[in-house]
Structure 1
Amino acid sequence: MASVSASHLILFIASLVIAAGVAGTFTQGISRLSDGIDDQSLEVSEEVRTDIEVISDAGSPVYNNSTNTVTLLVKNTGTANIPADSRFIEILVDGRYRTNVTITVVDGETWQPNNVIRLEINGTDLSPGDHRVKLIVNGDEEVFRFRT
């Protein structure tokens, strides 16, 4: 009789050890999943709060032929402050990534909601014809088409 109780006790202890191991593994997995969801929700929140609009007139001379510079006015129409720094704005001119950019806040100290920046894209040797500039800020994309 004692041998039956001892074997049951050993099986019970073994099942508790296995259950604790499984619970620990699930807890770690759930914790990692929770951290991932938190990180993703912060990114989505930034994307939702970020919105820009190119307010330059496509019919106006946005391209300076003598300096090879495209100048655009871009308004922050979202609810988030955006750093007025070229590291935070991805710029493609006719599909080519551009880094030689000068940014100036036109109406204020920082690029807050409803403020405008002057974006000067230097070194753009454009031939006569149709062109496009694509701006990407926190996942928000704007495309500006113009003719030289």
Structure 2
Amino acid sequence: MASVSASHLILFIASVLVAASVAGTITNTVGRLSDGVSDQGDALSQDVRTDVEIISDSGAQIYNRSDNQNVTLLMKNTGSRVLPANGDQMVILLDGVLQSPLEVTVIEGQDPDSWRPGDVVRVEFGAPDLDAGDHRIKVTVNGDEEVFRFNV
């Protein structure tokens, strides 16, 4: 009878040790998963708070307005996040070709270095020898994408 109780005691201690090690591993994994989800949620929150609109009139002349072969876009920050007014967080594709450098100027706002919610900026970039016809501009700012079509 004593040998049965000793074997049961050994099995009980072994199962408690296995359960404790499994619980420790699961707790560590859940903690890392929770941290990852939290980080991803923070990044997504920043993206959701970023919203811009291209307010240029597609019927107006946006190309070569000053005989300098530049494209000029007016954009408004309609999100709730303050963006830098330097083009660092902005990617512009003209007919699928990356455009740089970008000249960003706050034209309706209080701070020339910050693109605050409600502020309007003028974005200019060179596009020498742009062919006549239809063109497409895709602007991406912190994950927010806008498409603008115009005709030269």
Counterparts of 1:1-148 in structure 2, within 5 Å, are 1-64=1-64, 66-106=67-107, 107-109=109-111, 110-148=114-152
Q: Percent identical across equivalent pairs? A: 53
Tell me the amino acid that sits aligned with residue 57 of structure 2.
Answer: D
Deviations 1:30-81 (A, max 9, x none): 1121112111211221222211111111222211184331111100011111
Q: Supply the RMSD in Å over aligned alpha carbons.
A: 1.6
Question: Any idea what SS the aligned residue of 1:27 has?
Answer: helix
The number of aligned residues is 148
Question: Any idea what SS the aligned residue of 2:93 has?
Answer: strand
Question: Any idea what SS the aligned residue of 1:99 has?
Answer: coil
Shift of 1:114: 0.3
TM-score (norm 1): 0.91
User: Unmatched 5+ residue regions in structure 2?
Assistant: none
| Rounded Cα–Cα distance in structure 1 between residues aligned with 2:72 and 2:128 | 11
Shift of 1:22: 0.9
Tell me the amino acid that sits aligned with residue 47 of structure 2.
Answer: E
